[in-house]
Amino acid sequence: MSAYLAALFKDIHQKTGLNFVYMYDQFEYRRMIDGVWTSAELIVLCLICSIIFGLVGAAARESKSRILFMIVGAYVEFFRNTPPYVQLLFFYFGIGSVLPQIDMGGYFEPLIGRFGWAVISLSLFGGAFVTEIFRSGIESVPRTMREAAEALGYSRIQTFMHVVLPLALRFCLPALGGILISLLKYTSLAYAIAVPEVTYTSQLIWNDNFNVIEMMITLFIFYNLAVMFFSLLMSSLEKRLALPGYG
Amino acid sequence: MYLQLWRQTHVRFLAHTQEKFVSNKTENAISVLVQWTPFILEGFLLNLVISFLAMTIGTLLGVGLGLMRISRRSYLNNGARIFIQILQNTPWLVILFAVMFLVPSQFKIGGAQIAISGWVQATVGLSLPIVANVAEILRGSVHSIPSAQWEACDSLGFNRRQALSMIILPQCYKRMLPPWMSWYAILTLATPIVAILGVREGLGSAQAAMESAGGKPEYLMPFYGFVMILFFIYIYPIARWTKWLEQRVSQ
């Protein structure tokens, strides 16, 4: 099957000049697959960490401690109103240069590498938006539910975990899906700190083979497929979690 | 076993943090930053110009695309839908790359040769996602108009074009304003991306300033922090105003 595809694309290259190198050249194929895989890892890690930061942030906004409320408020406002690209550079170059370096024998390697900083920076950025989404979801849970839980003897944390959070999740799922898709697209910024994800790898390939347009088409296809797959995932999740007769 | 590993790889701090004059270095970095502030502010002005132009172009074209999207002719509707989907699903950086490679940097009209500088290409590139999103905003707000309005237009004998231009769209403008402003904020926060492509705007100026001042690592945090604060000072009031507008519109 792959031999057939390779022959097909080589044929297309000879007949029309459209050069999809990574389809018939083993080296470029390996590079492309590595790039796609790194991109997929980056996307999955960023989405999961954003949701975790968002949950922590939303829970902190719910808490009675005034200091926690203000710290999380400052975090959300800062990360929402500053450019994500500059945040990434600040984390990787700025903070990365003052962290300790590990002696590897002949050279020194920084404690957190490019991929790590990309995940940290993008997750903090996404977490700020997800915090707001979860907060709006939590606020839209009717107060009657909380009062009913209190009447049944649930503690504050128990109410939050067993009553408020499941309902809030179902209310905010559409908006959450939109934000996560937006974050998926922002992961391409990791290109700027030379994380070898699909945009960076495509550039390496088109630098070697001068097939910019074909690699651009590939990039468009990759991101469109990724977003469509994720949208499908979110809508099937919405259907599964839908409460019968509620909204 | 882990203790052995720990003994084998010892951790070393960068040389400059071992010195006792840490605060002196930071003070020095801040004074260098103050020296370069006018230069960085000029670059930030270019950021604002890019955002205004991209928003203007994007809004004008986006309204046109949005009208195609709500058209009843299926070729216009579906064509617009595919175009909007592609533009909405692709990262802004990839769209920018595509535009930078595809838009020529100079072309001839008649006998004159016109050069298009990098930031103009970048502005066109940044306006494309805005086109798609303004089209979606228009579609969303037209759909949010109660169907009673359409039925009233029908009963009064308006054709579709008259109904849209005289009755429906004027009601939409107020509803479109908060999401439109929100997209302006997102666009402005995305303008530093053009620094990847070599345009000397706010972030590019800060990076050039750091290089000119010697490229020392202690400059990194103050300079990048300053660029972030600039954007924060500009965007935070806009974000608050958008929230206030949203509450006003939803009444």
Nearest CA in chain B to A226: B89
Q: What distance in Å separates the CA atoms of residue B57 and residue B228, rounded to the nearest whole number?
A: 26
Q: How would you write A29-45 as a 3-class SS string?
A: HHHHHHHHHHHHHHHHH
pLDDT (average), residues A122-142: 94
* pLDDT score of B6: 55
* pLDDT score of A56: 92
Across the interface, which of A85, A181, A219 has its CB nearest the CB of B94? Answer: A219
* pLDDT score of A63: 80
Residue in B90, B188, B232, B247 to test binding to A, most A beta-carbons within 10 Å:
B90
Question: For the purposes of burial, counting CB atoms within 10 Å of the CB of A29, is it exposed (0-12), middle (13-18) or buried (19 or more)?
Answer: middle
Would you state the torsion angle of the CA atoms of residues A49, A53, A54, A58, taken in this order, to the nearest 10 degrees?
160
Most confident of A136-140, A159-163, B171-175, B190-194: B190-194
Q: Which of B28, B200, B236, B175 is nearest to B122 (CA)?
A: B200
Residue in B99, B224, B229, B240 to test binding to A, most A beta-carbons within 10 Å:
B224
Q: How many CB atoms lie within 10 A of CB B250?
A: 8
Assign domain A2-98+108-241 to a CATH class.
mainly alpha
DSSP lists the bridge partners of residue A101 as A110, B12
Confidence of residue B15 (pLDDT cuts 50, 70, 90): very low
CA angle (B236 as vertex; B235, B238 as ends), nearest 5: 65
Decide which of A97 and A219 is more confident: A219
Residue pLDDT, tens place only, A48-57: 999 999 999 9
Mean pLDDT of chain A: 91
Residue pair A130/A137 in contact (Cβ under 8 Å)? The answer is no
A112 interface with B at CB cutoff 8 Å: no
The pTM score is 0.89
Burial B49-61 (b: 16+ CB within 10 A, else e): ebbebbbebbbeb
DSSP lists the bridge partners of residue B108 as B113
* pLDDT score of B20: 46
The residues near B175 (Cβ < 8 Å, ≥ 6 apart) are B141, B144, B249
Query: What is the rounded end-to-end Cα distance, in angstroms, of chain B?
Result: 66
Question: For the purposes of burial, counting CB atoms within 10 Å of the CB of A77, is it exposed (0-12), middle (13-18) or buried (19 or more)?
Answer: middle
The residues near B1 (Cβ < 8 Å, ≥ 6 apart) are none
The domains of chain A are located at 2-98+108-241
A92 chain-B contacts, CB cut-off 8 A = none
Residue pLDDT, tens place only, B104-125: 777 777 777 888 888 999 999 9
Residue pLDDT, tens place only, A86-126: 999 999 999 988 888 888 888 888 889 899 999 999 999 99
Confidence of residue B157 (pLDDT cuts 50, 70, 90): very high
> Using the beta-carbon criterion (under 8 Å), do B232 and A108 form an inter-chain contact?
no
**Residue A237 tokens, joined:** 């999740």
**Residue A90 tokens, joined:** 């600040």
Mean pLDDT of chain B: 88
pLDDT (average), residues B201-219: 90
* pLDDT score of A161: 87
Residue B71 Cα distances to B18, B131, B158, angstroms: 68, 17, 16
Q: What distance in Å separates the CA atoms of residue A7 and residue A4, rounded to the nearest whole number?
A: 5
Decide which of B29 and B49 is more confident: B49
Q: For the structural domain made of B39-100+116-249, what CATH number should be given?
A: 1.10.3720.10
**Residue B138 tokens, joined:** 């228009």
The DSSP 8-state label assigned to residue A100 in this structure reads -
A183 chain-B contacts, CB cut-off 8 A = none
